[in-house]
Amino acid sequence: MDLSVIFKNAPFMLGGLILSFQLAAITIIAGLILGIVLASARLSSKSVFYYPATIYIHFFRGLPLILVIFWLYFLAPVILGTSVNEFTAAALAFVVFEAAYFAEIVRSGIQAVPFGQVMAAHSTGLSPLQTARFVVIPQALRNMVPALVTQSVVVFQDTSLGYVIGLREFLRRVNLTDAREARSVELYLFAGLVYFSICSLGSRASRRLEKRRFEAD
Amino acid sequence: MGIFNYQFDWSVLWQEPYGRLMIKGILTTLHLSVLAWILAVIIGILIAMLRVAPRGSARFLGTGYVQIFRNTPLLVQLFFWYYAAPLLLPQTVQEWMYDNIPNYAYWAGVVGLGAYTASRVAEQFRAGFLAIPPDQYRAAYATGLTPFQTYRYVIIPFAFRVILPAFTTEFLTCFKNSALAMTIGVMETTHTAYYIDSFTWHGLETTTAASLVYLSIAIIIGVSMSALEKRLHIPGMIVRGS
């Protein structure tokens, strides 16, 4: 064990961690927005909305993320007519892919609100928009927050897949450091420890939120 | 719009030697994920038994395993098994492996994917074990069965049927995750699709075809497993799709 290799290369590797965080943040925000749109379409009674959203969700949930990254990496230049950089390609693939997962979390959160609540809201004279705003969404949010936090942890872990198209995020930089220093054991244990510390914070937060939800009920 | 200028050439999918490579890649995806799955179920049962054990130290071990493997990316784990794990072995073993295991990447993939999937399978088994009324354990012990026999003849056959739907989902996740083995050089479906691009510049066609392959296999497995679930269902319990 020679830990000096980690200290010597820490600035280089942690620079990649910032990129991983940025990618995760973009994915979570944009993926959640797209996910909400998809979930609304999937809960719609109109088949023009329902079927495309359902097919979209099943399609991306059936594919490995790594393949979606390659696929969009090849497809994006064909559609846009210009080449895209790694960060854009990765962000695009993550948003498109994770939105399918966010959509299912949002949908089950909304469906967990008893329908009697909607009927009661209507009978007190609330408009559909008011029903959504004051009755359904506050309860649905509380239902889905723990799962959203868990999914965010998964997104953060998934950013490591940017590696495959040469994105210099944290894991790629650890890999490059290893190529230079030939210290695989120390470096990959370090990488594991960094991911573990960040992700277990997220997992713990999710568990605590889940517990609080049960106590509130 | 560029899409109209792109010259599609779907023949890269069946031309020599690319067609053969694709078939080989699909077969590799299949046996890699099945071997990893077998390993995952074996380790997963043991970890789940530790997680529900009465002894605190056993529970700590089981929980630690699940936490470590679930809170690090699979990619880091694969790199660990591929690059770092051999270095932890004695020099003579390393040399023996170097001479006798030519496709080490493949086996690193099986172990890495299996150990990771085990942490997910363990949670499903744990849920299954906890879904069984404690009286079943007590009754089994009271009739003189050993703890091993209790699990073998009473708990596992029951728990297995309770968690079968979750098992299907986990297997499909394992199947999709097998694509990550490409990062350590295993020539499975995704890697083959990418590899053909480097000779033909027609990666769009190969990755599209690979997507359809993953989807069709997932659908076949999904449909046959729900048929199996209906056959094996425990009377009086809710089945999917009934």
Nearest to A78 among B3, B176, B197 (CB): B3
From the list B2, B72, B183, which residue is nearest A163 (CB)? B183
Q: Which of B18, B108, B113, B118 is nearest to B65 (CA)?
A: B118
How far lies B9's CA from each of B1, B12, B19, B197, B199, in Å? 18, 6, 13, 12, 13
Q: Which of residues 49-88 of B touch A (CB under 8 A)?
A: 67-68, 70-77, 79-80, 83-84, 87-88
pLDDT digits (tens, 9 = 90+) for B13-68: 888 888 899 999 999 999 999 999 999 999 999 999 999 888 999 999 999 999 99
Torsion of CA B26, B163, B157, B45, to 10 degrees: 70
The model's confidence at residue B237, banded by pLDDT at 50, 70 and 90, is: low
DSSP annotation of A184: H
CB A160 within 8 A of CB A168: no
A182 part of contact set with chain B, CB < 8 Å: no
The contacts of residue B54 (CB under 8 Å, 6+ apart) are: none
CA atoms within 13 A on the CB side of A192: 19
Residue A198 CA to residue A157 CA, distance in Å, equals 10
> Any idea what DSSP says for residue B234?
P
pLDDT in tens, chain A (217 residues): 788 889 999 999 999 999 999 999 999 999 999 999 999 999 988 999 999 999 999 999 999 999 999 999 888 888 887 888 889 999 999 999 999 999 999 999 999 888 899 999 999 999 989 998 899 988 998 889 999 999 999 999 999 999 999 899 999 999 999 999 999 999 999 999 999 999 999 999 998 988 887 776 6
Region B178-189 average pLDDT:
94
Spatial separation of the C-alpha atoms in residues B188 and A67, rounded to whole Å:
11
* Beta strands in chain A, from DSSP E residues, in sequence order: none
Fold of A4-216: MetI-like fold (1.10.3720)
Whether the CB-CB separation of B97 and B81 falls below 8 Å is answered with no
> A184–B83: do the CB atoms touch at under 8 Å?
yes
Is residue B106 predicted with pLDDT exceeding 60?
yes
What fold is seen in the domain B16-232? MetI-like fold (1.10.3720)
Q: How far apart, in whole angstroms, are the C-alpha atoms of residue B148 and residue B54?
A: 15
In this predicted complex, what is the ipTM?
0.88
* B193 neighbourhood in chain A, CB within 8 Å: 67, 70
CA distance A179 to chain B (A): 11
- Report the C-alpha gap between A173 and A11 in whole angstroms: 10
